[in-house]
Amino acid sequence: MDTPFTMRGRLLCIALLAGLAALVFPAPSVVAQSSSSDRFLAEEAQAVYLANLERAAVGVPPLRWNRELTLAARAFSYDAVVNRPDGYCGHEDSIGRGPGERMAAYGYVNMTTWAENVLCGMATPASAIGAWMRSDGHRTAMLDPTLREIGL
């Protein structure tokens, strides 16, 4: 049986590089900035919901949103857009850190198992989840019953 401590140590970090361009460039007004942030948060919530629908369809427990994983994923997305203008798409940031190192840097330190799905370019939550579900390795990560938390 999972305890809160062992469950905390399990994760699924899905770094969505979708819709990030809107956050990289400052909005012209506070209203536009708020609207953009609201839309971005709604898209994150939709991605978690869609991932959990896929998990429920095969009897796997849902993922819970995690703040530290989300901070790590957002920083990785930002780094890819700002510091890797060559169109890099991978799992290492511009200073050479892999997923586990990035997660630890943002306070997620009690991990025992993790996975990272990355999608590069602009996408909707539905197209991102759909693309991962059509890829064997990404699908395996999405549906892994030992993974319990998600950051976007």
What one-character DSSP code corresponds to residue 38?
A: H
Mean pLDDT of 59-68: 94
Distance CA 2, CA 58 (A): 20
Encoded tokens for 121: 């370019």
Q: Is the model more confident about 109 or about 20?
A: 109
The position carrying tokens 């990035």 is: 102
**51, HSE (Cβ side, Cα atoms, 13 Å):** 34
* 3-state SS class at 12: strand
Burial environment of residue 87 by CB neighbours within 10 A (0 to 12, 13 to 18, 19 or more): exposed
| Alpha-carbon distances of 42 from 12, 15, 116, rounded to whole Å | 19, 16, 21
Query: For the chain, what is the mean pLDDT?
Result: 77
Question: Could you tell me the pTM of the whole model?
Answer: 0.72
Predicted local distance difference test score (pLDDT) of residue 34: 64
Domains and CATH numbers, the chain: 4-151 (3.40.33.10)
3-state SS string for 72-88: HHHHHHHHHHHHCCCCC
57 has a pLDDT exceeding 60: yes
Distance CA 89, CA 43 (A): 21
Per-residue pLDDT tens for 34-56? 677 888 889 989 999 999 999 99
Per-residue pLDDT tens for 106-119? 888 877 888 888 88
Task: Look at strands 12-16 and 116-119 and give their pairing.
Answer: parallel
Distance CA 129, CA 99 (A): 19
Q: Is the model more confident about 139 or about 20?
A: 139
